[in-house]
Chain A
Amino acid sequence: MLRVFFAFAFMLITIAGLALQPAFAETPIEVLAALKAEASGMPGFQEFSAERGEKFFKTKHNHNLSCSTCHTDNPAAQGKHSETDKIIKPLAPAANEERFTDMKKVAKWFKRNCNDVLDRECTAQEKGDVLAYLLTVKK
């Protein structure tokens, strides 16, 4: 009897645990792999480099803007929209588990933000370098 009760309790706890676990479409590693599949087909592809990604992230491109203008020089920290002051949650997956878990969302925001900062879309190489960098950032 007692054993049945424990088994039941254990099952309930497991189900509750699963329900609390956020369901993500992809992992950042899968997103990185998808970017690599895209980039490796392009001429001049180089293995993604966190170092190059960091430089790209922190360099001011057009309009005196860089990725770090809003996301700050520490992607594990909270950022702030440069125009509206709206709080931006941390970008590094180590600090925000929601980041880079939805391919569609990743594509949308790279497109939008690259257009604001570089007046063009970013290449798969650039995106992969940046994600490689963000994955090295510790909380």
Chain B
Amino acid sequence: MSFNANKFTRMFFVAVLVTGTAMSVARVSDARAEGQKSAVSDPKWKSECGACHFAYPPRFLPAESWRAIMTGLDKHFGSNAGLDAESANEITAFLEKNASTKKHDTTMKPLLRITETSWFKSEHREVAASTWKLPKVKSPANCVACHTKAESGDFDEDNVRIPK
């Protein structure tokens, strides 16, 4: 009996330890999720837009640009990227809600390319033409080539590394 009780006590401690470890692992992943909260996200946007290219943050374009992009997905920069209506509606709503509210020229047709916006050109004015053509960069549309933390919505200059 005393042997059994002893074994039971030991098992009990093991169980408590295992539970404790599981709980702290859960806490760490919660904290990690919290750290990324600053960047808006939507699972459909991430999976659909992010399937073929970096999922560009909604704040990079005004709402009318996103609307124009989302209604023209059948001719999306040379590819038919048409979506089912449900996904398209969800993504459009997410993009509109988080779109740029910066002042921009509304007399012109909405811009479809982030790289043509004045803020983009101004932010990248120091980037040499040769840098854009580096094999690991290829194009100004490839944010993640230099913005090492772009996936988490962080475009801070401190985290820019131009590849060799």
What's the tally of chain B residues with a CB closer than 8 Å to chain A?
A: 20
Are B80 and A115 within 8 A (Cβ)? yes
What's the tally of chain A residues with a CB closer than 8 Å to chain B?
A: 12
Residues in A neighbouring B52, C-beta threshold 8 A: 81, 83-84, 86
The residue of chain A having its C-beta at the shortest distance from the C-beta of B145 within the complex is A85
**Interface membership of B138, Cβ < 8 A:** yes
Are A116 and B80 within 8 A (Cβ)? yes
Contacting residue for A2 out of B7, B54, B142, CB 8 A: B7
Residues in B neighbouring A9, C-beta threshold 8 A: 11, 15
- Whole-angstrom distance from the CB of B89 to the nearest CB of chain A? 16
Contacting residue for B8 out of A1, A81, A84, A86, CB 8 A: A1
Are A112 and B142 within 8 A (Cβ)? no
Are B141 and A1 within 8 A (Cβ)? no
Residues in B neighbouring A1, C-beta threshold 8 A: 4, 8
The residue of chain A having its C-beta at the shortest distance from the C-beta of B47 within the complex is A105
The residue of chain A having its C-beta at the shortest distance from the C-beta of B138 within the complex is A85
**Interface membership of B162, Cβ < 8 A:** no
The residue of chain B having its C-beta at the shortest distance from the C-beta of A16 within the complex is B22
- Whole-angstrom distance from the CB of B73 to the nearest CB of chain A? 11
- Whole-angstrom distance from the CB of A132 to the nearest CB of chain B? 24
- Residues 43-57 (chain B) with a chain A CB within 8 angstroms: 50-54
Chain B 88-124, CB-CB to A under 8 Å as 1, else 0, gives 0000000000000000000000000000000000000
- Whole-angstrom distance from the CB of B119 to the nearest CB of chain A? 22
**Interface membership of B2, Cβ < 8 A:** no
Cα–Cα distance between A116 and B79 once the two chains are bound (Å): 6
- Whole-angstrom distance from the CB of A104 to the nearest CB of chain B? 9
Are A86 and B53 within 8 A (Cβ)? yes
Cα–Cα distance between A5 and B52 once the two chains are bound (Å): 50
Residues in A neighbouring B7, C-beta threshold 8 A: 2
Are B53 and A2 within 8 A (Cβ)? no
Q: List 24 A-B contacts (CB under 8 A).
A: A1-B4, A2-B4, A2-B7, A2-B11, A5-B8, A5-B11, A9-B11, A9-B15, A81-B52, A81-B53, A83-B78, A84-B52, A84-B53, A84-B54, A84-B139, A85-B138, A85-B142, A85-B145, A86-B50, A86-B51, A86-B53, A112-B79, A112-B81, A112-B82
Q: Which residues of A contact B (CB under 8 A)?
A: 1-2, 5, 9, 81, 83-86, 112, 115-116
Q: Which residues of B contact A (CB under 8 A)?
A: 4, 7-8, 11, 15, 50-54, 78-82, 138-139, 141-142, 145
A1-B8, A84-B54 given; name 10 further pairs at CB < 8 Å: A9-B15, A81-B52, A83-B53, A84-B53, A85-B138, A86-B51, A86-B53, A86-B54, A112-B79, A112-B81
